[in-house]
Amino acid sequence: MPRGEGGWLDPVPAYRLATLRACLAVVTLVFHVPKFNGLLDAYTRSAFHVAPAFAWIPTPSRGAGIALMVLQHAAAWCLFLGWAPRVAGWLLAGAGAYIMALDPEHYSHNAHFHLTLLALIGCASDRISLRRLILGRDDDARTPGWPEWLIRAQLAIVFFYAALDKVLSPGWGLTGAVLTGPGFAPHAPGLAGLQQLNQTVLGAIPAVLSVATIATELGLAIAFVVPGLSALAIALSVGFMTYLEFMVRPGVFTWDVLIALLVLSPRRIAAGPSFTRRPAPHLASTGPSCRGWTG
């Protein structure tokens, strides 16, 4: 967190978490809810199930499954609009954890990360609706900053363990064997040539790129939590995530990480997404840094 922003429990400008929540809700509506409702639909249409992660987890009936699907949709819209966002965030996180626990095949690291963000945004107590955010009536709003800090810590934990996994995995380390495996399927129109070039480079110097990937992830883990390295964390994350999304394999992880970067945004950018925003009196001393996106 930039210098001078105080400790974990101190108040911070509320629009950062409110903006993050609206963006996270969009990803939830576009990627997460369709996927998890699809899993639940298939599960409740099937007569055979493997044992869930814990024996005490109840298996949903078809009716309960449909109710949960509707509830997930409603919660995602509530999250987007900022209506009872804490309930909506935790409901989505809880429902997702339940669906993931029903069958090992429901698990994915991307979904796991999305659920952690939903739970953490469910801790935010900014009470800024989407309407209020858009109209710029949140200039004076402050909220406890600990959910922002937890999101930063979560990002650091994820990238630290991703790096550690690559250090220990026989497919990475000093061999980079994973990078010489079968090519990734072409995706994103107009980028086939670049993706082919990327494949060639990966195959030519896999060990170097393996070490570089581990170093990047470790660097990110440090930058997310060390005060003063926020700008580096943002730049490195945007570059790394964009590369993964367009050169390697598309996935919701990229969008979740990019959204989570909102908690690292400097005050002058994050002073508000509103086009009509004016500096709040108590922030006016920071001068031009409060003028919002269009400042």
Partner 1 sequence: MESTLTGWRRHAAVAFIVVWLAVQIAVPLAQKLDLGAPSSPYRYARYSWAMFSRLVPRYEVRLYRTRAGSAPEAIPDIDRWIHGYRSPEPMPMSAIYTSESEVLGRFAGLVTAIAHERRDGYTYVAAIRWTANRPSGGATVEVRADATR
Q: What is the gyration radius of the CA atoms in the chain, in angstroms?
A: 21
Is residue 28 within 8 Å of 76, Cβ to Cβ? yes
For position 200 contacting partner 1 by CB under 8 A, the verdict is no
**Interaction pattern, residues 232-271, with partner 1; x per rule: CB under 8 A:** ----------------xx---x------------------
Q: Which two tokens stand for residue 228?
A: 């003063």
For position 165 contacting partner 1 by CB under 8 A, the verdict is yes
Dist. CA 142–CA 267, nearest whole Å: 13
Size of the site for partner 1 (CB under 8 A): 53
Minimum distance from residue 148 beta carbon to partner 1 (Å): 12
- Look-up: residue for tokens 């995602």? 76
Minimum distance from residue 28 beta carbon to partner 1 (Å): 20
For position 105 contacting partner 1 by CB under 8 A, the verdict is yes
Dist. CA 54–CA 40, nearest whole Å: 17
- Look-up: residue for tokens 């004076």? 140
Q: Which two tokens stand for residue 28?
A: 């939830």
134 or 167, CB closer to partner 1? 167
Is residue 92 within 8 Å of 75, Cβ to Cβ? yes
Q: Which of the ranges 8-16, 54-62, 65-73, 265-273 carries the binding residues for partner 1, by CB under 8 A? A: 8-16
Is residue 177 within 8 Å of 206, Cβ to Cβ? yes
Q: How many Cβ atoms are within 10 Å of 285's Cβ, its own excluded?
A: 9
For position 146 contacting partner 1 by CB under 8 A, the verdict is yes
| Amino acid type, 57 | I
For position 283 contacting partner 1 by CB under 8 A, the verdict is no
Residues that bind partner 1 (CB under 8 A): 8-11, 14, 41-43, 45-48, 50, 104-105, 107-110, 112-113, 116, 123, 125-127, 141-144, 146, 149-150, 153-154, 157-158, 161-162, 164-166, 168-169, 171-172, 177-178, 181-182, 248-249, 253
